[in-house]
Chains A and B, each alone.
Chain A
Amino acid sequence: MTQADARLSVLKTYKLYVGGKFPRSESGRVYEVTDAKGRWLANAPRASRKDARDAVVAARKAVAGWSGATAYNRGQVLYRVAEMLQGRREQYVAEVADAEGLSKARSAAQVDAAIDRWVWYAGWTDKVAQVVGGGNPVAGPYFNLSAPEPTGVVAVVAPQESALLGLVSVLAPVIATGNAAVVVAAEERPLPALTLAEVLATSDVPGGVVNVLSGRTAEIAPTLAAHQDVNAIDLTGADAELARELEVAAADNLKRVLRPEPPYDWTADPGTGRLTAFLETKTVWHPTGGLGVSGSAY
C-alpha cells in the first residue's frame, strides 16, 4: 500500500450560499449526495423554509445595487465569473462526470458549453435594452420611450438533470438583466451548483445577487412560490405535479411565472426567451412642446 492510499480521504460537507456568505442550513440538516453509480460523494446542506426566507431577504437587499449598476459593469462582472469558471474547469469536469454519469470527454463538452453560455449572456447585458426597448411612434407631440427593467427577486428551480449547463442556462439570463436570484439546486445533483456559489463568491458578483439553496425541491420551492416578496419564479426544474402546485401558490401576489415545456435541450441555441422573461417594460411619455410653424419645437 502506498502512502497516498493509506491517507483517509476528506469528504466535503458543502454549505448554502446566502447573501454572499456560506451558512449551514438553519435546520442543521445535511443529506448524502451520491454519484450516478450510488457512491457517496459528499454531504450537501438540506435547506429549510427559513433558509429560503433568509435567501429572499438577502436577494431583496441586493436588488437595488445590482439593478442600479450599469449594464456594462454587469457584463464585466459576469465575464469575470466566466474567467473563474474556466480556472476551475478540471474540477467541474470531474463533478459533472460524477453527477451525470458521463464520460470525461462528454462531461468536458458540457462544461465548455456552460462557460460559453455564461460568456454569451455576459455579452447580452448592455444589448438587451436596444432589442426589447426603444422609441415608439405615437400620434402626438411626445417622445415615447420604452425601456426594460428587471423584475426584481426571481426564484429559480434549477433543472434536475443537467447540473451545470442547465443551471447556467437558467441562472445567467436572470442576473444578466439585473434581477437577483434564489436558486434551488438540482436535488440529486447539487454539487456543481454549490461549487458555482464558491466561484461567484470569489468573483465580483455582489453578495445576495445569487443565493443557492440545496435540499428537497418539494420542500423549498413552495415557500418561495408563496413568498410575497418574490417577484417571479422559474419552474424549469419542477415536475408537472409540483409545477402546478407552485403556479397556484405564485398566483397570490401575481408573480411572473416561467413554465417551460420539457424535455429541455440545453445544447440548442438558447435564444433571448429566458433573457426577456423576467423584464418589465417602463414607458416614458415626454412632451416635446407644441409644434411651431417650422414643425418640431426642436
Chain B
Amino acid sequence: MPRIPTAAAGPPASLADVTASDAALRRFLHGLPGVDPVGLEARAAALGTRSIKTTAKAYALDLAVSMIDLTTLEGSDTPGKVRALCAKARTPDPTDRTAPAVAAVCVYPDLAAVAAESLAGSGVKVASVATAFPSGRAAPEVKLADTRAALAAGADEIDMVIDRGAFLAGRYLEVYEQIRAVRQAAAGARLKVIFETGELSTYDNIRRASWLGMLAGADFIKTSTGKVGVNATPANTLVLLEAVRDYRAATGVQVGVKPAGGIRTAKDAVKFLVLVNETAGDDWLDNRWFRFGASSLLNDLLMQRQKLRTGRYSGPDYVTVD
C-alpha cells in the first residue's frame, strides 16, 4: 500500500512560505478563488436529487453507519449514558449482526475515559472534543490542557474548535498558531478542526478556514459543533470537499471531512455521500476520510436497513432510545 503523506508535518514545502507571516497568510487566503454562492447551492441541490436504490442503497446505508461519530455532547451526560452509547456503537442493531459498527464515539474529555474503557478491543475509536468546546473562548494554555486531558483519558481523536473571534477579526496567523499548538500537543492522535461554519457568515470564509486548517495540519476538517442554529448543510460541506480535493491536488496530502449537526435522516446521509463521491472522489468513501457527526441519524439508518431487509417500514419502537 502506498504511504499516504500525513498532515501532521504541517504545510508542505511548496506552501511553506504562505505561513511565514500574518501578511503572507492573509494574501494567500484572500487569493483563493471566491465561491459563487448561487452556483454552489445549485450544485449541492442538484447532487441531492440522485436516486440511490436497491443494492447501491444497501451499500450506502452500511457505509454511512460505518462513518458515524456517534455523539453525545450534553451537559447532562452521565457515565451510564456514555456506556449505553458505546454498547450501541459496537452493535448498532442487536437484531441484525450484519450491521457494521460505527467509526467512533464522540464525548466531552471528562467522559473519554469511560468511553475508552467501554470500547476497548472493539475497533471503535474514542473521539473527544477539546479546546473549550463549543465556543473556543479560553486562554491558549487552557485549551492545550483540555487537549492533554482528553488524550490522557484515552482519546484516539481530538475534535478542536477554532477561535472564530480571531478568524473573523482577520488574525489568521493567530488561529494558525493555535491549531499548530494543539496539533503538537495531540501528536499521534487524529486531529479534527471544527470551523463552526454557521458563524463564519460567508462561503468565502469557509473556504479560507478550510485551507487554514489544512495548512496547520488538520487530519479532518469539520463543519460545526452542532450547538448553533445552522450546522452542516450540503452547500457548506461541498465547500469543504472542494477544499480537500484541491489541497490533495496541490500537495499530495489527503485530509478528511466531517459534517456534523443537523443530519438526521438516511436520505440526507446518502445525499452527503453522493456529494463526497462526485466532488472529492471515491478515495474519500471510507470512514478514515469521511465521518458524520450525528446521534439520531443512526436510528434512521437502522430503520432503513430493516426496511430493505424485510420489505416492511420499520418504526422507532424497533431501535434503541438514546
Which residues of A approach B to under 8 Å, CB–CB? 53, 56, 60, 223, 226-230, 252
Decide if B311 touches A229 in the complex (CB within 8 Å).
no
Chain A residues with Cβ below 8 Å from B316 are 60, 229
Rounded to whole angstroms, the CA-CA distance of A228 and B316 in the bound complex is: 9
Chain B residues with Cβ below 8 Å from A53 are 313
Q: Does B318 interact with chain A (Cβ within 8 Å)?
A: yes
Chain B residues with Cβ below 8 Å from A226 are 311-313
Can you list 13 A-B pairs with a CB-CB distance of less than 8 A? Answer: A53-B313, A56-B313, A56-B315, A60-B315, A60-B316, A226-B312, A227-B312, A227-B313, A227-B315, A228-B306, A228-B317, A228-B318, A229-B317
Q: Does B118 interact with chain A (Cβ within 8 Å)?
A: no
Chain A residues with Cβ below 8 Å from B313 are 53, 56, 223, 226-229
Question: What are the 3 tightest A-B residue pairs by CB atom distance, in nearest-first order?
Answer: A229-B315, A226-B312, A227-B313
Decide if A228 touches B315 in the complex (CB within 8 Å).
yes
Chain B residues with Cβ below 8 Å from A252 are 312
Q: A228-B318, A252-B312 are in contact. List 11 more A-B contacts (CB 8 A).
A: A53-B313, A60-B316, A223-B313, A226-B313, A227-B315, A228-B306, A228-B312, A228-B313, A228-B314, A228-B315, A229-B313
Chain A residues with Cβ below 8 Å from B315 are 56, 60, 227-230
Rounded to whole angstroms, the CA-CA distance of A90 and B315 in the bound complex is: 41
List residues 291-322 of chain B with CB under 8 A from any CB of chain A.
306, 311-318
Min CB gap B248→A, angstroms: 39
Min CB gap B53→A, angstroms: 12
Rounded to whole angstroms, the CA-CA distance of A7 and B317 in the bound complex is: 55
Which residues of B approach A to under 8 Å, CB–CB? 306, 311-318
- Which of B306, B311, B312 gathers most chain A CB within 10 Å? B312
Chain A residues with Cβ below 8 Å from B314 are 228-229
Rounded to whole angstroms, the CA-CA distance of A228 and B313 in the bound complex is: 6
Min CB gap A108→B, angstroms: 41
Chain A residues with Cβ below 8 Å from B312 are 226-228, 252
Chain B residues with Cβ below 8 Å from A223 are 313
Rounded to whole angstroms, the CA-CA distance of A230 and B312 in the bound complex is: 11
Min CB gap A133→B, angstroms: 25
Chain A residues with Cβ below 8 Å from B306 are 228
Rounded to whole angstroms, the CA-CA distance of A188 and B90 in the bound complex is: 51
Min CB gap B264→A, angstroms: 12
Rounded to whole angstroms, the CA-CA distance of A56 and B315 in the bound complex is: 9
Min CB gap A184→B, angstroms: 15
Chain B residues with Cβ below 8 Å from A230 are 315
Chain A residues with Cβ below 8 Å from B311 are 226
Chain B residues with Cβ below 8 Å from A229 are 313-317
Chain B residues with Cβ below 8 Å from A60 are 315-316
Chain B residues with Cβ below 8 Å from A227 are 312-313, 315
Rounded to whole angstroms, the CA-CA distance of A58 and B317 in the bound complex is: 15
Rounded to whole angstroms, the CA-CA distance of A227 and B311 in the bound complex is: 9
Min CB gap A274→B, angstroms: 24
Q: Which residue of B lies closest to A53 (CB)?
A: B313
Q: Which residue of A lies closest to B313 (CB)?
A: A227
Rounded to whole angstroms, the CA-CA distance of A53 and B311 in the bound complex is: 12
Q: Which residue of B lies closest to A49 (CB)?
A: B313
Rounded to whole angstroms, the CA-CA distance of A252 and B306 in the bound complex is: 14
Rounded to whole angstroms, the CA-CA distance of A227 and B315 in the bound complex is: 8
Chain A residues with Cβ below 8 Å from B317 are 228-229
Q: Which residue of B lies closest to A226 (CB)?
A: B312
Rounded to whole angstroms, the CA-CA distance of A227 and B313 in the bound complex is: 5
Q: Which residue of A lies closest to B306 (CB)?
A: A228
Rounded to whole angstroms, the CA-CA distance of A53 and B312 in the bound complex is: 10
Min CB gap A162→B, angstroms: 30
Rounded to whole angstroms, the CA-CA distance of A60 and B303 in the bound complex is: 15
Q: Which residue of B lies closest to A230 (CB)?
A: B315
Min CB gap A89→B, angstroms: 38
Min CB gap B303→A, angstroms: 9
Q: Which residue of A lies closest to B316 (CB)?
A: A229
- Which of A60, A223, A228, A230 gathers most chain B CB within 10 Å? A228
